[in-house]
């Protein structure tokens, strides 16, 4: 083997290395950090793991005492979440057990001696959640993008105050704003409607999207557009062809944050919807089954809410800090 | 119109770019002034209709006797709502509960979040992945979090007591009954310490290495380095975290509703929950509730004012 003196380091040395940071002691320190971090992460994720496990437990396993760590997975929780069921009488039970045309879901329900009547209320509420959160996100991001562009590129009289006003609307406690909005909605017939919820979430996400997008647009050099304007582009064309393509990442990040907010929102939905436009978050707590609280179904519902959020957390990890500080702090 | 060359050749568009106020008729050739107004107006209108107008309306209601479930119109009664609220011991209890909850949860979050950030600041194997994993709780829906912690706290089939060493359900504490406020604090800390960690990490990573190098050359102990370099450098971000979390703790609603619903009795009735119960449960006391809403609003606006101004300062720095 050639010695180090002959071959050199093998790869280019791009940074200086402090001697005290490569000593065995420093390396042990890094290992200790790794182990500590893994342990802490594991502890912090126990609740999430427990939720996932409860979601795929059978009904008796979900409420076993002491709690079961090892169990046979089951679809009980999801069936309870998505389907209305009824207990079968002895005669019906025998008939059902003879049948061969049952779907996978129905067979699972049969194990508990139940038949499936139809889709549960939760299906409709999940659909409401999807409609309301996606529509409000599209609106909030579109309007926010336009306003952010104007705030970023023009000298607007009272700009600082306007921006401050916009952000302060975000800080208002939901319960405080809800009382008058509830009365207003009831008066104009927007109570318990999709459009009412969409507009409300748009208003609440708008402040956030203006601030975050302004940060992203501020980073795009003005000179690009100025060059385009000199070349004969109109303002709108410059906006569409120069700014939009460069702001795509920012727009996507903003959209996802708005989506998560609307997807997770509980207080407004609880107070401003009844049966028709109710979204999923306020309906998960009220999922009561035949024998009291159906923990399996609640866990299944929570898990459905959890999965998209976890994916998004990973996708957005570079922008999380910007998101939570309204774009004020960039990493 | 999509081809820039084509546009450049048509004389009507070749005007100086920043000349505001020039009236043009065709879409796509709007003047800067029009674009400004067109771009900002929808946002302002929506925010005014959905935030400012309702607030004025509830300001009016706070001076009236009114219940939205009744048929009677609001009756002007001056400041009676405010004075009866401020003399109501139940309300002061709500404020005390909210204050205690905010104090303990923010304090613990700062300690734990800062500790986590100190642990994760060094680059080691999979440190990025672990950081992201730790951040998951803060992205979840508070009401869903509250709900599944309710299962975790359950004295019979929850795992919390088992994990902290109470193996016998009959002698174990019943968290949501005996330590209801503390159980909410624990969940809030679990959920939001990662937020503090995220802010602190960005602060820690921005500290230039040469400060520590200079301190090491001067033989400053690591304890002294922490107090003289690390802490002062991270302080602005810590302050942001404290302000933001305090505002959020005062507003606490979703998590409390998911976990305890304000109970048992009103042991965990934070101001927001008290407000909700006043309007949407029981006798629907809309007038007094609007007054309470305004008291909360003033507190929140005062705090968020400081917060937003501080954020702005950070942004300019």
- SS3 letters across B176-201: HHHCHHHHHHHHHHHHHHHHHHHHHH
Please work out, in degrees rounded to the nearest 5, the angle formed at the alpha carbon of residue B106 by the alpha carbons of B96 and B265: 35
Q: Which residues contact B46 (CB under 8 A, 6 or more apart)?
A: A143, A199, A202, A203, A206
Nearest by CB to residue B116, choosing from A40, A312, A331, is: A40
Preferred mutation among A32, A125, A328 to probe B, highest tally of B CBs within 10 A: A328
Q: Which residues of B touch A200 (CB under 8 A)?
A: 50
Q: Which residues of A touch B138 (CB under 8 A)?
A: 324
**From A97-101, A227-231, A310-314, the region with the lowest mean pLDDT:** A97-101
Give burial (CB, 10 Å; 0-12/13-18/19+) of B278.
buried
3-class secondary-structure state, position A258: helix
Nearest by CB to residue B304, choosing from A144, A147, A168, is: A168
pLDDT score of A288? 57
Nearest by CB to residue A51, choosing from B148, B190, B276, is: B148
Q: How many Å separate Cα B66 from the centre of its chain? A: 31
pLDDT score of B313? 78
Cβ of B143 within 8 Å of Cβ of A266? The answer is yes
pLDDT tens by residue, A223-241: 888 898 888 888 888 888 8
Contact yes or no for B64/B78 (Cβ under 8 A): no
Average pLDDT over residues B199-204: 90
DSSP for residue A293: E
pLDDT tens by residue, A148-171: 999 998 888 888 888 888 888 888
Residue A276 has pLDDT above 90, yes or no: no
Q: What's the pLDDT band for A73 if we cut at 50, 70, 90?
A: confident
| Alpha helices for chain B (secondary structure H) | 4-9, 32-47, 53-61, 80-86, 89-120, 127-139, 142-153, 160-163, 175-178, 180-205, 209-217, 222-225, 231-250, 254-259, 271-280, 286-316
Token pair 């508070």 is found at: B142
Q: What's the pLDDT band for B108 if we cut at 50, 70, 90?
A: very high
Average pLDDT over residues A131-157: 92
Q: What's the pLDDT band for A206 if we cut at 50, 70, 90?
A: very high
Cβ of B17 within 8 Å of Cβ of A236? The answer is no
Q: How far apart are CA A250 and CA A259, in angstroms?
A: 14
Nearest by CB to residue B139, choosing from A29, A144, A309, is: A309
Average pLDDT over residues A204-229: 90
Over the range B75-85, which residues count as b (16 or more CB within 10 Å of their CB) and which as e? Answer: eeeeeebbeeb
Q: If we measure between CA atoms, which residue out of B257, B247, B244 comes closest to residue B310? A: B244
Cβ of A284 within 8 Å of Cβ of B143? The answer is yes
pLDDT score of A314? 87
Residue B189 has pLDDT above 90, yes or no: yes
pLDDT score of A13? 59
CA–CA min distance A267, chain B (Å): 6
CA–CA min distance B263, chain A (Å): 15
Q: DSSP strand E in chain B: where?
A: 64-65, 75-76
pLDDT score of B58? 87
Both tokens assigned to B173: 């504490």
Nearest by CB to residue B136, choosing from A33, A180, A313, is: A313
Half-sphere exposure of A320 (CA within 13 A, CB side): 27
Residue B105 has pLDDT above 80, yes or no: yes
Nearest by CB to residue B136, choosing from A48, A62, A64, is: A48
Nearest CA in chain A to B205: A331
Both tokens assigned to A147: 């306003």
Give burial (CB, 10 Å; 0-12/13-18/19+) of A94.
exposed
Cβ of B47 within 8 Å of Cβ of A166? The answer is yes
Nearest CA in chain A to B124: A30
Instruction: Please give the helix or strand (H or E) that residue B42 lies within, else none.
Output: helix B32-47
CA–CA min distance A313, chain B (Å): 6
Q: Which residues of B touch A331 (CB under 8 A)?
A: 202, 205
Nearest CA in chain A to B253: A267
Q: If we measure between CA atoms, which residue out of A283, A272, A281 comes closest to residue A178? A: A272
The residue ranges of every structural domain in chain B are 20-76, 81-316
Phi, psi for B205 (deg, rounded to 5): -70, -20
pLDDT score of B24? 44
pLDDT score of A42? 93
Q: If we measure between CA atoms, which residue out of A214, A237, A68, A64 comes closest to residue A154? A: A214
pLDDT score of B3? 47
pLDDT score of B26? 54
Q: How far apart are CA B96 and CA B179, in angstroms?
A: 16
Q: How far apart are CA B152 and CA B95, in angstroms?
A: 28
Q: How far apart are CA B134 and CA B194, in angstroms?
A: 6
Both tokens assigned to A160: 């600082």
Residue A97 has pLDDT above 80, yes or no: no
Per DSSP, chain B holds a count of helices (H) and strands (E) of 16, 2
The mean pLDDT of chain B is 83
Q: What's the pLDDT band for A9 if we cut at 50, 70, 90?
A: low
pLDDT tens by residue, A16-70: 666 666 777 778 888 888 999 999 999 999 999 998 888 888 877 877 777 878 8
Q: What's the pLDDT band for B21 if we cut at 50, 70, 90?
A: very low
Q: Which residues of B touch A310 (CB under 8 A)?
A: 136, 139
CB atoms within 10 A of CB B177: 14
Q: Which pTM was predicted?
A: 0.84
CA–CA min distance A245, chain B (Å): 15
Q: How far apart are CA B245 and CA B248, in angstroms?
A: 5
Cβ of B199 within 8 Å of Cβ of A321? The answer is yes
Q: How far apart are CA B218 and CA A51, in angstroms?
A: 52
Q: If we measure between CA atoms, which residue out of A52, A306, A77, A197 comes closest to residue B144? A: A306
State the first-to-last Cα distance of chain A, in angstroms, to the nearest integer: 44
Q: Which residues of B touch A122 (CB under 8 A)?
A: none
Residue A258: cis peptide before it, omega within 30 degrees of 0: no
Q: How far apart are CA B141 and CA B147, in angstroms?
A: 10
Cβ of B47 within 8 Å of Cβ of A164? The answer is no
Residue B31 has pLDDT above 50, yes or no: yes
Preferred mutation among B255, B308, B313 to probe A, highest tally of A CBs within 10 A: B308
Both tokens assigned to A95: 């008939």
Give burial (CB, 10 Å; 0-12/13-18/19+) of A96.
middle
pLDDT tens by residue, B111-120: 999 999 999 9
3-class secondary-structure state, position A71: coil
CA–CA min distance B253, chain A (Å): 7
Contact yes or no for A145/A209 (Cβ under 8 A): yes
Instruction: Please give the helix or strand (H or E) that residue A114 lies within, else none.
Output: strand A114-119
For residue A189, CA distances in Å to A181, A185, B52 come to 11, 6, 20
Q: How far apart are CA B130 and CA A35, in angstroms?
A: 11
Residue B23 has pLDDT above 70, yes or no: no
Please work out, in degrees rounded to the nearest 5, the angle formed at the alpha carbon of residue A282 by the alpha carbons of A278 and A284: 110
Share of chain B above pLDDT 70, in %: 90
B17 or B131: which leads in pLDDT: B131
Q: If we measure between CA atoms, which residue out of B51, B142, B96 comes closest to residue B274? A: B96
Residue B158 has pLDDT above 60, yes or no: yes
**From A76-85, B27-36, B175-184, the region with the lowest mean pLDDT:** B27-36
Residue B104 has pLDDT above 50, yes or no: yes
Q: What's the pLDDT band for A210 if we cut at 50, 70, 90?
A: very high
Which fold is adopted by the domain B81-316?
MetI-like fold (1.10.3720)
pLDDT score of A169? 82
Average pLDDT over residues A110-129: 82
The strand pairing partners of A289, in sequence order, are A292
B306 or A244: which leads in pLDDT: A244
Residue A255 has pLDDT above 90, yes or no: yes
Q: How far apart are CA A324 and CA B251, in angstroms?
A: 17
Nearest by CB to residue A147, choosing from B43, B127, B216, is: B43
Q: Which residues of B touch A175 (CB under 8 A)?
A: 251, 253, 272, 275-276, 293
Residue B44 has pLDDT above 80, yes or no: yes
Q: What's the pLDDT band for A304 if we cut at 50, 70, 90?
A: confident
Q: What's the pLDDT band for A2 if we cut at 50, 70, 90?
A: low
Q: What's the pLDDT band for B29 if we cut at 50, 70, 90?
A: low
Nearest by CB to residue A40, choosing from B134, B152, B244, is: B134
pLDDT score of A78? 84
Share of chain A above pLDDT 70, in %: 91
């Amino acid at each position: 083997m050639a010695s180090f003196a002959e071959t050199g380091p093998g790869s280019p040395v791009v940074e200086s290395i402090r001697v005290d940071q490569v000593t065995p002691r420093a390396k042990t320190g890094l290992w200790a950090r790794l182990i500590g971090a893994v342990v802490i992460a594991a502890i912090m994720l126990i609740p999430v793991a427990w939720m996932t496990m409860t979601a795929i437990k059978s009904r008796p396993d979900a409420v076993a005492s002491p709690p079961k760590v090892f169990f046979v997975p089951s679809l009980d929780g999801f069936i309870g979440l998505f389907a209305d069921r009824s207990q079968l009488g002895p005669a019906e039970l025998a008939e059902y057990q003879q049948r061969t045309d049952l779907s996978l879901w129905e067979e699972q329900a049969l194990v508990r001696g139940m038949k499936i009547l139809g889709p549960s209320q939760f299906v409709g509420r999940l659909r409401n959640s999807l409609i309301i959160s996606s529509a409000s996100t599209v609106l909030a991001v579109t309007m926010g993008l336009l306003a952010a562009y104007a705030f970023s590129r023009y000298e607007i009289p009272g700009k600082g105050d306007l921006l401050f006003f916009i952000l302060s609307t975000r800080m208002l406690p939901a319960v405080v704003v809800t009382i008058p909005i509830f009365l207003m909605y009831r008066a104009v017939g927007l109570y318990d409607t999709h459009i009412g919820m969409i507009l409300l979430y748009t208003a609440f996400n708008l402040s956030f999207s203006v601030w975050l997008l302004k940060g992203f647009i501020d980073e795009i050099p003005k000179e690009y557009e100025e060059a385009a304007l000199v070349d004969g582009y109109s303002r709108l064309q410059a906006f569409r062809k120069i700014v939009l393509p460069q702001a795509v990442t920012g727009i996507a990040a903003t959209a996802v944050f708005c989506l998560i907010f609307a997807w997770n929102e509980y207080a407004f939905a609880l107070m401003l919807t009844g049966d028709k436009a109710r979204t999923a978050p306020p309906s998960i707590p009220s999922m009561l089954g035949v024998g009291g609280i159906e923990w399996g179904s609640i866990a299944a519902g929570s898990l459905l809410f959890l999965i998209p959020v976890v994916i998004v957390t990973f996708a957005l990890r570079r922008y999380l800090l910007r998101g939570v500080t309204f774009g004020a702090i960039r990493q | 119109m999509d081809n820039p060359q084509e546009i450049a050749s048509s004389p009507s568009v070749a005007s100086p770019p920043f000349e505001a106020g020039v009236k043009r008729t065709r879409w796509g050739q709007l003047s800067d002034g029009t674009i400004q107004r067109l771009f900002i107006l929808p946002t302002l209108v929506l925010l005014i209709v959905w935030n400012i107008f309702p607030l004025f309306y509830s300001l009016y209601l706070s001076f009236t006797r009114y219940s939205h479930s009744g048929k009677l119109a609001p009756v002007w009664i001056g400041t009676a709502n405010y004075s009866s609220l401020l003399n109501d011991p139940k309300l002061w209890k709500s404020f005390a509960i909210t204050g205690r909850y905010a104090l303990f949860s923010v304090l613990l979050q700062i300690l734990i979040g800062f500790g986590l950030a100190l642990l994760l600041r060094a680059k080691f194997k999979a440190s990025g992945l672990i950081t992201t994993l730790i951040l998951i709780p803060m992205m979840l829906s508070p009401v869903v979090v509250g709900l599944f912690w309710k299962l975790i706290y359950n004295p019979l089939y929850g795992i919390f007591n088992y994990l902290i060493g109470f193996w016998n359900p009959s002698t174990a504490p019943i968290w949501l009954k005996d330590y209801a406020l503390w159980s909410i604090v624990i969940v809030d800390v679990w959920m939001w310490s990662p937020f503090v960690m995220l802010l602190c990490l960005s602060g820690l990573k921005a500290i230039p290495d040469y400060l520590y190098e200079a301190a090491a050359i001067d033989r400053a102990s690591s304890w002294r380095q922490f107090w003289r370099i690390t802490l002062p450098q991270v302080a602005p971000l810590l302050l942001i975290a404290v302000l933001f979390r305090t505002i959020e703790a005062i507003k606490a609603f979703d998590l409390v509703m998911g976990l305890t619903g304000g109970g048992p009795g009103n042991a965990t009735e934070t101001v927001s929950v008290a407000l909700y119960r006043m309007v949407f449960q029981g006798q629907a006391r809309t007038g007094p509730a609007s007054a309470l809403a305004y008291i909360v609003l003033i507190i929140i606006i005062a705090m968020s004012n400081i917060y937003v101004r501080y954020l702005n300062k950070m942004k300019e720095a």
